[in-house]
Amino acid sequence: MDYLQGLNQSQKDAVVQTEGPVMIVAGAGSGKTRVITYRVAHLIQKGVDPFNILVLTFTNKAAKEMRNRITTVVGPEAKNIWMGTFHSVFAKILRVEAHKIGYPNNFTIYDTDDSKSLLKSILKEMSLDDKLYHHNYVYGRISMAKNNLISVTEYQQNEQIQADDFASGRGFIGKIYETYANRCFKAGAMDFDDLLFKTNVLLKEHPDALNKYQQKFKYLMVDEYQDTNFSQYLIVKKLAAVRENLCVVGDDAQSIYAFRGANIQNILNFQKDYPDVKVYKLEQNYRSTQNIVNVANSIIANNKNQLDKNVFSDNEEGDKIKITRSFSDNEEGKVVAESITQERGNNNLNWVDFAILYRTNAQSRSMEEALRKLNVPYKIYGGQSFYQRKEIKDLIAYFRLTFNPSDEEAFKRVINYPARGIGKTTIDKMILAADQANKTLFDIACEANQHLDNRAATAVGNFSIAIQSFAVVAKTSSAYDAALNIAQQSGLLKDLYDDKSVEGLSRYENMQELLNGIKEFSEREDIEDRGLDVFMQDVALLTNDDNDKGDNKDTVSLMTIHASKGLEFPQVYIVGLEENLFPSQMALNSRADLEEERRLFYVAVTRAEKKLHLSYATSRFRFGTLVNCEPSRFLDEIEPKYLEIEFVKKQQNNSQSFGDERSQWQSKTSKTEAQQGDFFSKPKVATSNPIKTTSLLAKAHVPSAGFAPSDTSKLQVGQDVEHERFGFGKVISLEGNKPDIKATIFFKEIGQKQLLLKFAKLRILEN
């Protein structure tokens, strides 16, 4: 029981309460991971069989860290806990139970690229406009349906869904969803969303399977519960229904994934789902200074929809939070880069102690340019995953086809790579033959002489024989030997080796690195099954966080705020704090969206341990045009006593509040260009109309009765329009091509704005 001695009272109470429903509300930096791991260790110490404990996380990285910590307390027994991501745990269950819902147990798991590739093929076959039915949009629509457990039939029969699709001009999405689902089933494949969707189907339609896992998992724990979607919520609720030994851990203030389907109501309503729940609040922040915690609290207090808690810190008070204003995004990058260099030298820090966080990936440009000019090493966090590189996906496609010849996407990817003289015409003939005979492409390849001319039949037949031979070797070989055989006999290794360009050498090295990783996997002693098929499943279930393993180099980290969740740094710079950027313009249509943006800001602030720097620019290039910007409303929500204000061009009194600074800025920007020069250097913008500065405190526009966006596909220059938030205006110019046409509009109340028509939601007024 020594492990309990290092816990504060709230943490200890949460750890020892093992029976019945429990909710642990864990503020940022409050030792959440320690509580989860010690609670599991405590269950085992009490005599609970580890095989009866299920712990669900959102990344394999988190699961690995927890398992390692539990091992230090209870020893090797920790290996027997069912612990992993939702997708990995339920993929494991489906490997056993898939036959009950009509799937082979060796089903392929499609990653996002595979799914989108299949959708592209379907859209092409259906002769649909790929701009209107963009595969990203269609994929997102289908994904959201699955996350909400809406089947193909329910999607097609739901009047509201159909009305929405037809209103957007996309009435065929239901048919695309049906075709996509049928093609996945025919290929013996499940996409990521299917792993949860099909688990729900299994538990709903097969009571024996539900009962089996209800009896098996006597204790359930869910990490980051605020990030669960409806599908995940329902699985957990079903599995815990018998004993209700369910412990959820999370922080509603860090719920930032609504765009992925996460539903904050799952944690907000947990007490309604389980009236007997015991609630424990971890409110002491061990990570950040008191000033940083106070700033975070003053921000999140503006959200109405939240659980009550009082996060505090006993750490040092720390420096005030510095807000820097620059006159352009490039100047902002320069100021941040210079500040990092100065802070590093003054405080004897390493580059890795700094992080720059931004709302959108596009903002990294000005930061990168400024860092390069000062020779500051940096890394873009969340860049392309090793497993997303073309050469890696090519070899893995061969692996997939070896174990599941029905995998259509893998088949199409490698049938003619390396080149075998099998052209598009031949592949199209095979697809047609497969559809007519209701067979897989691999079936047709094995019968090539019946469907193709002699030359094509020989090439396709040889390919099918090669795949079958790979399968024979894989059954009796280690993962490494099977992988090496496929890499060599397929011709992939030779093709990359023969490319003597710099890029070719890099790709060959990547291939060798993959084989090295498989070699290491083959020699692991902590798992029983070390076959190539198991390795493939591990790769398929990696999350973005797991893919970015980092190289441990001393570099400044650049990343979006979404990517920063779960990380911490001694010094953090949050840049681009401007209206319509952060909060995003897309988030200003509803309170729910705005509150999610505020939670995103809260997450960003709480990444900082010692120092927090906030910055914004008064002008920024957007879509090639320099536009004036105003400070984010979130800055106004911070209590001034925690802040230090700094202007790039003129140092002001540090005791000045941000509210006072905003008033000065607004009054100054309404004066002449010469007068503005006294306050800060403002870049000149060529425009036919003066741009008025918006006051955030001004009365908001009230939309006209019955306001409804018009079809803007035929919008013309000179037309009068109404925007839900900006009010009435006139179209000054239109530029770009569909679907990315930009309209420059002069609004009566706020001046000139440039909007993307596909997002603008304008009502066209009759002239």
- Please give the full DSSP string across 165-189, using - where no structure is assigned: HHHTT-TTHHHHHHHHHHHHHHTTE
Cβ 4 vs Cβ 38: under 8 Å: yes
The pLDDT of residue 527 is: 67
DSSP at 637: T
The pLDDT of residue 221 is: 95
The pLDDT of residue 652 is: 38
Does residue 730 share a domain with residue 619? no
Catalytic residue among 33, 71, 271, 666: 33
pTM of the predicted model over 0.75: no
**H/E run at residue 194:** helix 192-205
Cα first-last separation, the chain: 78
Cβ within 8 Å of residue 5, ≥6 positions away: none
Q: Is 345 annotated as a binding residue?
A: no
Does 657 fall in a domain?
A: no
Q: How many whole angstroms from its chain centre is CA 515?
A: 28
Q: Round to whole Å and give the CA distance between 22 and 252.
A: 15
Q: Which stretches of 482-587 are assigned E, i.e. beta strand?
A: 556-560, 569-574
The pLDDT of residue 552 is: 59
**H/E run at residue 193:** helix 192-205
Does residue 560 share a domain with residue 530? no
Helix (H, G, I), strand (E, B) or coil at 378: strand
224 is catalytic: yes
Does residue 534 share a domain with residue 410? yes
Does 300 fall in a domain?
A: no
Q: Is 26 annotated as a binding residue?
A: yes
520 is catalytic: no
Task: Name the domain count of the chain.
Answer: 5
Torsions phi, psi of 440, nearest 5?
A: -85, 165
Does 183 fall in a domain?
A: yes
Does residue 525 share a domain with residue 449? yes
Does residue 369 share a domain with residue 336? yes
Does 401 fall in a domain?
A: yes
Residue 592 burial (C-beta neighbours within 10 Å; 0-12, 13-18, 19+) = exposed
Which residues of the chain are modeled with pLDDT < 70? Answer: 1, 382-386, 500-503, 525-528, 542-552, 621-626, 646-702, 749-750, 767
Torsions phi, psi of 7, nearest 5?
A: -100, 150
Q: Is 238 annotated as a binding residue?
A: no
Q: Round to whole Å and give the CA distance between 696 and 630.
A: 9
Does residue 580 share a domain with residue 440? no
Catalytic residue among 165, 194, 224, 545: 224
Q: Is 29 annotated as a binding residue?
A: yes
Q: Is 32 annotated as a binding residue?
A: yes
**H/E run at residue 61:** helix 60-74
The pLDDT of residue 107 is: 93
384 is catalytic: no
Does 316 fall in a domain?
A: yes
Question: CA 479, 77, 11: angle at the middle one, nearest 5?
Answer: 120
The pLDDT of residue 81 is: 93
Average pLDDT score over the chain: 85
Torsions phi, psi of 684, nearest 5?
A: -80, 135
- The range of the structural domain enclosing residue 171 comes to 108-187
Does residue 321 share a domain with residue 270? no
Torsions phi, psi of 107, nearest 5?
A: -55, 150
Pairing of strands 321-326, 22-26: unpaired
Q: Round to whole Å and give the CA distance between 608 and 549.
A: 21
Beta bridge mates, 631 = 578
**H/E run at residue 763:** strand 762-764
254 is catalytic: yes
Does residue 527 share a domain with residue 392? yes
Among 645, 676, 691, the domain-final residue is: 645
SS3 content of the chain, % helix, strand, coil (to 5): 50, 15, 35
Does residue 448 share a domain with residue 333? no
CATH number at residue 505: 1.10.486.10
607 is catalytic: yes
The pLDDT of residue 235 is: 95
Does residue 355 share a domain with residue 241? no
DSSP at 683: P
Does 32 fall in a domain?
A: yes
Pairing of strands 22-26, 643-647: unpaired
Does 287 fall in a domain?
A: no
Catalytic residue among 607, 611, 620, 742: 607
Does residue 87 share a domain with residue 46? yes
Q: Measuring CA to CA, how many Å separate 364 from each of 34, 330, 559, 632?
A: 34, 11, 8, 19
pLDDT in tens, 370-429: 898 898 998 888 655 567 778 889 999 999 999 999 999 999 999 999 988 898 899 999
**Cβ of 342: how many Cβ atoms within 10 Å?**
10
Does 299 fall in a domain?
A: no
CATH number at residue 715: 2.30.30.390
CATH number at residue 254: 3.40.50.300
Encode 593-631 in three state secondary structure.
Answer: HHHHHHHHHHHHHCCEEEEEEEEEECEEEECCEEEECCE
Among 159, 187, 215, the domain-final residue is: 187
Catalytic residue among 97, 194, 223, 597: 223
Cβ 387 vs Cβ 394: under 8 Å: no
223 is catalytic: yes
What is the side-by-side order of every strand in the sheet holding 556-560?
378-380, 556-560, 354-358, 569-574, 608-617, 321-326, 643-647
Catalytic residue among 59, 85, 232, 254: 254
Does residue 537 share a domain with residue 437? yes
Among 523, 542, 561, the domain-final residue is: 542
Residue 241 burial (C-beta neighbours within 10 Å; 0-12, 13-18, 19+) = exposed
Q: Is 31 annotated as a binding residue?
A: yes
R_g over Cα of the chain: 28
